Amino acid sequence: MTQRTTEGTFCLVLHSHLPWLAHHGAWPVGEEWLYQAWAHSYLPVVDMLRRFADEGRSDVLTLGVTPVLAAQLDDPYSLRGMHDWLGNWHLRSHFAGERLKELSAYEHRASRWALDRFETQWRHGFSPVLRSLVDSSTIELLGGPATHPFQPLLDPKVRAFALKAGLDDTALRIGRAPDGIWAPECGYSPGMEAGYATAGVKRFMVDGPALHGDTSAAHPVGSSDVLAFGRDLEVSYRVWSPKVGYPGDAAYRDFHTYDHPTGLKPSRVTGKNVAPEDKRPYDPLLAKEALDRHVADFVDTVVRRLREIDGGLVVAAYDTELYGHWWHEGPLWLEAVLRALPEAGVRVTTLRGAVEAGHVGAPVELPASSWGSGKDWRVWDGAQVADIVSLNESVQKELLGLDFSSRTRNPVLDQAVREALLALSSDWAFMVTKDSAADYARYRAKIHSDRFSELAALARSGRGLGRATELRAADGPFGHLDARGMG
């Protein structure tokens, strides 16, 4: 497709991530979270990208997929669970027909479509699907550290190991390591670029304020050749911000209101202060009208912003799970925007494509930063999560004190390191600070740190193979992980 590029360059970056959920509860937090995001975000977003690939379009968007999410989407246990979940959704759509006929028909079509896509394209996991999109250059893939830890709070040795384990895992699944990463939580501390350069990372994401608002180009960090791209918050916040955004429109489907007998969502947002029982029924036609308005608004916003910066670069970045899971109409909006922007004279490309187009500015010194509240580290290092911070420090101290000098692999140490990485996931502190299933998050941080300490003690005594084998059956991502890399 030939693009009429007179306005400037736009990059859409999607960050796909969920913590390791397999074997750790089902509802309301746990595997249900994985299956909902899979059905409502990953299936439709990937289907959209396959359509673009079939049309011959390249560099459509930059897709970040964390190694821990990729591991779940390839895991046989999760694949079986997902198939069961989709079948259950289809059955629930039939059951709803007794009371909610229009919703039943709508959900029947959606669940039948999802089952068809899963059974014909996903039964061997995500990696074959993802690799085809990477190989065709439809997308640029971003990787990251193995379990999505908040890197600024890691010991440099642990940080380097987690990043290498993540890049190695992506290389195994896709055929090569990615050139860029989504730095977990956009977390940065001065000097991290040196570790990125050593690991072969050429570019990473930060939030706009880390670049003091100058997001109209990528910038080399310090004296390195590693490039930092920043989110343009003026554009990104049109879709979703801490307070406002398109998904809150009264016509869109309400995420929080359930028909409890079926688990389906029958209502539209209606209003911010409207009680669930008073919300109006969902109407796809009204939602389509709102979507058309918001597509036009976003395109106008991008064009206006590009003119303000003299045709430079605009990077908008979001969680992939916003599209479909949290915002039901999101995948339709996404495709419409990616088709409308070229028609408005905007070059749509990837971070790689932006570099090739010359959108690289002067070197910068970045401050300690994140994309969390306050744009600092408070979400992951604040008073609310002092217990998790202390736990993480203890895990790292014990981890660094283990003996990794063996000439042969030690499955007990391998599993100990695996549990340590799971304990260090940034998700647990985030969920506590945001009061989102905080008890579950604290439980997950504690159970993985306890399992790590148990295995570490067994490894020091030369025992523990049976226990390591048992724990790996539940927490088994990154089968290639070799603890000797910590040595």
Residues classed as catalytic? 185, 319
**What are residue 140's DSSP bridge partners?**
62
Rounded to an integer, what distance in angstroms lies between the CA atom of residue 335 and that of residue 349?
14
The angle at the Cα of 287, spanning 344 to 326, to the nearest 5 degrees, equals: 90
Over the range 68-97, which residues count as b (16 or more CB within 10 Å of their CB) and which as e?
bbbbbbbbeebbebbbebbeebbebbeebe
Q: Are 145 and 196 in contact (CB under 8 A)?
A: no
- Strand duo 219-220 + 227-230: pairing: antiparallel
Identity of the residue numbered 121 = Q
Count of CB atoms situated within 10 Å of the CB of 310: 8
Rounded to an integer, what distance in angstroms lies between the CA atom of residue 182 and that of residue 205?
6
Q: What is the DSSP letter of 39?
A: I
Closest C-alpha to 153, from 367, 388, 319, 317: 388
Rounded to an integer, what distance in angstroms lies between the CA atom of residue 25 and that of residue 33?
10
Q: Are 416 and 463 in contact (CB under 8 A)?
A: no
